[in-house]
Structure 1
Amino acid sequence: MLDFLRKQAQSPLIQTVVVIIAVVFIFWGVGTNLGGSRSSVATVNGTEIPGMDFSRAYSQALDGLQQQFGGRMPSGFAEQLGIREQVLHRLIQAELLRQGGAEAGIRVSELPVQQRIAEMEVFQEKGKFSLQRYKDVLSQNRMTPGSFEKGLKSDLSTERVQELVGDFTVISDNAASRWQAWSNEQLKLAYVKLEPAAFESKVAADDKALAAWFEKNKERYRSEPKVRLKYLLFNQSDDEKEIKIADEELTAKYEQDKESYRQPEQRHARHILFKIEKNAPEDIRAEKKKQAEAVLAQAKAKEADFAALAKQHSEDASNKDMGGDLGFFAAGRMVPAFDAAVFAMQPGDISGPIETEFGFHLIKLEEIKPETVRSFEQVKDSIAASLKREQAKALSFKRAAAAYEAVMKAGSLDKYSQQEAGKVQVTEPFSRSEHPQGLPADPKFIEAAFSLKKGELSSIIELREGYAVLFADDMQEPEQPKLEAVKDKALADWKKEKAAELAAKAAADLLAASREKKELQTPEGGTVTVTGLLKRTASGEENAPPDQVRSDAFKLAWKEKLPAAPVQAENVWFVYEVRERLAGESKTDDDVRQQLSASARRDLLTAWLASLQNKAKIRISLRSRDDEPQQ
């Protein structure tokens, strides 16, 4: 379940394990970009994951990404990250976790559900649970007590499963101390970098060696298959120019879709966060609340500057420097307790401490932007454009279908072209990677072209901006060129490869000489770079080598100064010497213990989920992006 209000009740551990998408912590997106289908997107051991759940989760992920990019995410970025696949993976793992708990006999009675609801501040008035407020808040968010409590019970079962799995992890004082010392260790390096480019001048031309090398590597020079097309193109834009939309049609469409032009009430707020780590002990929670109450008293003082207090005290790194400014947001965009508090305030009100899964918040409401409905004049042009696209698509298909029928009656595309001069377009032979200018830049067009056999006519191909009919006039199979035809390129590639071999040999020789002298030697014409003290995981230090070198150096035994072999990083070879090594402080604090415990719990839960997944019967029915209707 991904219902808005129950996010407060979801366990943080499963979020850590299965949520791959990084989002700004305070925001939770709502709405859908995928149409809200009721059909399932996957089945896990016979239990369906509804399309509606996927739509909500996908929209949340997109909203989170958009917030990170200031509301304007780069085109195609979500597809590049594979957000759809990540969201589906998260939902499948959540279902596996629920089923695993049920199989283990873990049950949650009604009493914990009632207790959790009573503890949620969103349902409280003057610090006590209010049945009327409970019903009102659920009603405002289009939920019933039955559906909310059913979902909350499912989440509590999941939390119980995680707690029981986590109870098997034990972090001893000795383990925590050793980890602290290990993580705080530092070392200083001296290193020599050997780049292949520096050795290319030492590679002498050798036709015999080049020929032998080319024989082993000739497949990389094989040409791509090519196709020569004859095709008919029916551009949607051509039909759009001919379409006129009457004002009555625009008005009717506006009234039909008027609800979609409604912009809900938005509120502008600031907050000061006193952050609490997951599973923090009660004494830390109490201390944080005490701090929040002290700052609240300052914020409510006459002429207090809330933004200045946020810059001084807030632990929300994402907006601390902006005075805790969260900008405008609609109901349902924040975690439930925070959301409920904001939408119960008036401009100028300061509320808190409000507890959420992130800690205690002090909130100031700056401004209310009332609900509005965009006027007909504001959206008239976009409605007209949308209707033109719809009608033009239909006209384009009608033209394509008529032409296709005419081709069939004529007996061939060539005979059709004699009847309809100028309509059939012809290309030069082209490959998948290199297209002639003017060819539709649509993957479906290219895919259809290379799926044809020589002399074959396609069906009507639907494109993003119209339709096409293709005929494979000629197909050219891949060719294996002779060395003479690609000699310049082959020679350059061979030289780079030989230079890399020389660099690797030079690195091995330098390391051997250094080990013999028991210290790093300076190669002829080369230089030795010396770093400052490096940490295991830090980055950006002056003169620091690539991470592969740093990692290799920290793996050396304390008595060793030189590595067993040169380190290759990004096709460059490094030979290094450890000049200085400092042991890390082994004092263990509560933060370290909590980090180790959380890591161990994550590892154990991840392993258990993997085991459940290996035994599960999972069927995925989520359609690919290409199969979806165009928005």
Structure 2
Amino acid sequence: MLQTIRENSQGIIAKAIVGLIIVTFALFGVESLIGLANSEKAPAEVNGEEISTMDLQRGVELQRRQILSQMGENADPAAIDEVGLRRVELNRLIEQQVLLQSAQDQGLYVSEQMIDQLIVAEPAFQGEDGRFDRNQFEAVLRNQGLTPLMYRDQLRKALLTAQERGAYYLSAFATPAQAEQLALLAAQTRDIDWVRFAFDDALAEIEITPEQLQERYDAERERFMTDAQVVLSYVELNQADFADPNSVSEADLRSAYEQELVRFSAEEERRAAHILFTLDDASEADVRKLVADVRARIVAGDLSFAEAAAQYSDDPGSAAVGGDLGFNGRGVFAGPFEDTLFAMQAGELSEPVRSKFGYHLIQLDEVRATEPPSFAERKPVLQAELAASAAEANYVEALERLADLSFSSADLQVPAEELGLEIKQTEAFAQSGGASDITTNAKVLRVAFSTELLDEALNSAPVELSRERAVVVRVHEAIPARQQSLEEVRVQLDAELRQELAASRLKERTDALAEKLVQGEPLEQLVAGLQWNVADDVARDAGSMPLEVNRAAFEMPRPAGDKASIKSIAMQNGDHLLVRVRAVHTPEQVDEQLVEQLQQSLIGREANFSYGAHVQGLKASAEIERN
């Protein structure tokens, strides 16, 4: 065979092909051939510059980790919308690329020295001594899935875009006159009256005729089509069913307890109090002198430790209780603090101790030792743990068996018999979901309305509802969409029409009353038994009246002379109100500090608006191609 290959490779065509390969390697490298097989397009291009798949995957994974950490111990990765997460991250990368290109076009620059300084000054990368720790730096980055070079690149990009953003924020302005006018408006008060007309009273007066129902039904027949629904048959595998504490042997329990004893050490717990002196803007020498002075006063009896903690400690959590930290074992406090605490004798006051938080004075009040629990105390817990461990292994094995059986069976009967499971049925539900935890599960919904189950009548693969539960489903009954009759929707239509008519008539009534009140007719003569709710000198968002009343009153125009300003408004619960503003009171002057705060707020708003408009403009003018 090798001889045949050798003979055929001597021809002119073979030599020409080999020559082309050599030229390609020389000019473009081996990647030119590999790239032909892996010519996957970049996720997006911005003005001809690609956003790499690696950057997108890294960003999605980082967001995914953050979401899972926020979910806590019971985090379910399946609950994360991976498609939505990818879309959000891609949009972020596109915007970042647009802003980077804008910064580069303007010649903005970040030096390597600046990046070095920021990294060294970052507290997360510093050790107990407050200095940059290379090992700490690399460990933090590893947890985020980054290398030092990747982090530097991210930091450089962030600094570049921050320069342009900073230019907008530093150039935004607002005049003192604007801030003063806003302050005067904020301090304004009004004399307000209001009266309520209940929606329920209007609703009680409405009667709907059969003709009205038929007319609405005929006009909106398409709205009364039911959704296609399915009823599922399913078998469920639950890890909890495999847990049998009674099956755990006494020998296994004794062995587990002995292992615990080996791991357990009779650790001391120490009750201590401390006084924290932070550095803040003070020099380290000044803080050390203060700590030494306070310690000398405590030793001399001029101050008790509790009094000193209340007066000097910068730890708000313990200062109010004399610096008391309660009982704690090892592993709770930072290194130097813990080393000092566990080297002290009861009743002893430490020398000043330096930690990353500042300087501490520590007083050890009491020492107590913990004893290992007895076998009888630990037995129920160990029994449950060992049973759960065995259950997990049996559950995984059964899940694999269920997958094989459901794939090879024409129905659920065989998997149910083989694994001792009960075949159950769901309620009828649409693609929007049902009422049970199974029929609201997104993965079950996708499978239930898939072609394989609806058209081919197959069993599904096991669908994991959680880490301990899984189901295999098949369509028991498919219920097509249909037109509902008028009788089926009569109650719904009647309620809708009554609500609409009541709201319409109530609005017409209050609008008409408002017009008559503007013309000068008194409310008491227009509607017998009604009186205004009166409130004078009311501030904005005051809690002495419904919020809708207050906000409407401050949106209404000033009264013209003696003529009050009147308006009809609808509330969220359907009630309608008549609101009257009798007078507006504006203070002659306002607090200068408030004016300064409002001026800064206006500057921030202007900067946000200007920069946001700039970003939108850049994105609108950029050539963005999503693949």
Please give the TM-score of this superposition, normalised by the length of structure 2.
0.61
* Aligned position for 1:605: 611
Letter in 2 for 1:396: A
Contact 1:310 1:324 in 2 (8 A): no
* Aligned position for 1:577: 580
* Aligned position for 1:134: 131
Q: 1:269–1:350: structure 2 CA closer, same or farther, 3 Å change rule? A: farther
* Aligned position for 1:54: 63
How many angstroms does 1:599 deviate by? Answer: 3.1
* Aligned position for 2:444: 445
Any idea what the Cα deviations from partners look like across 1:154-180, whole Å, max 9, x if unmatched?
A: 655454333222122012222222222
Secondary structure class of the residue paired with 2:565: coil
How many angstroms does 1:500 deviate by? Answer: 1.7
Trace 1:497-576 onto structure 2 (pairs within 5 A): 497-517=500-520, 523-536=527-540, 538=541, 541-542=543-544, 544-546=545-547, 548-559=548-559, 561-563=564-566, 566-576=569-579
Contact 2:245 2:383 in 1 (8 A): no
Secondary structure class of the residue paired with 2:203: helix
How many angstroms does 1:202 deviate by? Answer: 1.2
How many angstroms does 1:365 deviate by? Answer: 7.4
How many angstroms does 1:582 deviate by? Answer: 1.9
* Aligned position for 1:228: 231
d(CA) in 1 for partners of 2:134 and 2:416? 71
Letter in 2 for 1:558: R
* Aligned position for 2:484: 481
Q: 1:271–1:499: structure 2 CA closer, same or farther, 3 Å change rule? A: farther
Pick from 496, 499, 520 the counterpart of residue 496 of structure 1. Answer: 499
Secondary structure class of the residue paired with 1:566: strand
Secondary structure class of the residue paired with 2:193: strand
* Aligned position for 2:399: 397
**After alignment, is 588-597 or 142-151 more displaced?**
142-151
Letter in 2 for 1:479: R
How many angstroms does 1:491 deviate by? Answer: 2.7
* Aligned position for 1:203: 206
Contact 1:176 1:588 in 2 (8 A): no
Trace 1:105-116 onto structure 2 (pairs within 5 A): 105-113=107-115
* Aligned position for 2:459: 458
d(CA) in 2 for partners of 1:138 and 1:607? 43
Unmatched segments (≥5 aa) in structure 2? 1-41, 142-146, 264-268, 343-348
Contact 1:233 1:468 in 2 (8 A): yes
Trace 1:404-419 onto structure 2 (pairs within 5 A): 404=406, 407-408=409-410
Q: 1:333–1:526: structure 2 CA closer, same or farther, 3 Å change rule? A: farther
* Aligned position for 2:429: 431
How many angstroms does 1:454 deviate by? Answer: 6.3
Letter in 2 for 1:516: Q
* Aligned position for 1:5: none
Contact 1:187 1:535 in 2 (8 A): yes
Q: 1:382–1:511: structure 2 CA closer, same or farther, 3 Å change rule? A: farther
How many angstroms does 1:576 deviate by? Answer: 0.6
Q: 1:510–1:203: structure 2 CA closer, same or farther, 3 Å change rule? A: same
**After alignment, is 457-466 or 95-104 more displaced?**
95-104
**After alignment, is 512-521 or 391-400 more displaced?**
512-521
Q: 1:453–1:319: structure 2 CA closer, same or farther, 3 Å change rule? A: farther
d(CA) in 2 for partners of 1:509 and 1:586? 40
d(CA) in 1 for partners of 2:590 and 2:224? 57
How many angstroms does 1:92 deviate by? Answer: 5.1
Secondary structure class of the residue paired with 1:134: coil
Letter in 1 for 2:109: R
Q: Does 1:595 pair with 2:612?
A: no
Secondary structure class of the residue paired with 1:599: helix
d(CA) in 2 for partners of 1:41 and 1:269? 57
d(CA) in 1 for partners of 2:335 and 2:161? 25
Any idea what the Cα deviations from partners look like across 1:36-61, whole Å, max 9, x if unmatched?
A: xxxx9999844544456436654776
d(CA) in 2 for partners of 1:571 and 1:179? 33
Answer with 1 or 2: which has the greater Rg: 2
Contact 1:225 1:478 in 2 (8 A): yes
Contact 1:181 1:586 in 2 (8 A): yes
Any idea what the Cα deviations from partners look like across 1:526-585, whole Å, max 9, x if unmatched?
A: 44323454433x45x12x223x44333323333464356534434332221113322254
d(CA) in 2 for partners of 1:417 and 1:146? 52
Secondary structure class of the residue paired with 1:460: coil
d(CA) in 1 for partners of 2:533 and 2:351? 56
Q: 1:272–1:93: structure 2 CA closer, same or farther, 3 Å change rule? A: farther
Secondary structure class of the residue paired with 2:602: helix
d(CA) in 1 for partners of 2:116 and 2:213? 79
Q: Does 1:163 pair with 2:160?
A: no
Letter in 2 for 1:575: L
How many angstroms does 1:445 deviate by? Answer: 3.4
Secondary structure class of the residue paired with 2:231: strand
Contact 2:125 2:137 in 1 (8 A): no
Q: Does 1:212 pair with 2:212?
A: no
d(CA) in 2 for partners of 1:266 and 1:88? 48
How many angstroms does 1:105 deviate by? Answer: 2.6
d(CA) in 1 for partners of 2:625 and 2:311? 51
Contact 1:454 1:472 in 2 (8 A): no
Q: 1:143–1:579: structure 2 CA closer, same or farther, 3 Å change rule? A: same
Instruction: Count matched residues.
Output: 524
d(CA) in 2 for partners of 1:273 and 1:613? 50
Richer in helix (by share): 2
Secondary structure class of the residue paired with 2:171: coil
How many angstroms does 1:462 deviate by? Answer: 1.6
Any idea what the Cα deviations from partners look like across 1:305-350, whole Å, max 9, x if unmatched?
A: 4675599x99x9x99999999999999999xxxx999899979889
How many angstroms does 1:197 deviate by? Answer: 0.9
Unmatched segments (≥5 aa) in structure 1? 1-39, 64-71, 125-129, 260-264, 277-284, 621-631
Contact 1:250 1:380 in 2 (8 A): no
d(CA) in 1 for partners of 2:252 and 2:419? 40
Cα-Cα RMSD = 6.4
Letter in 2 for 1:600: E
How many angstroms does 1:480 deviate by? Answer: 3.0
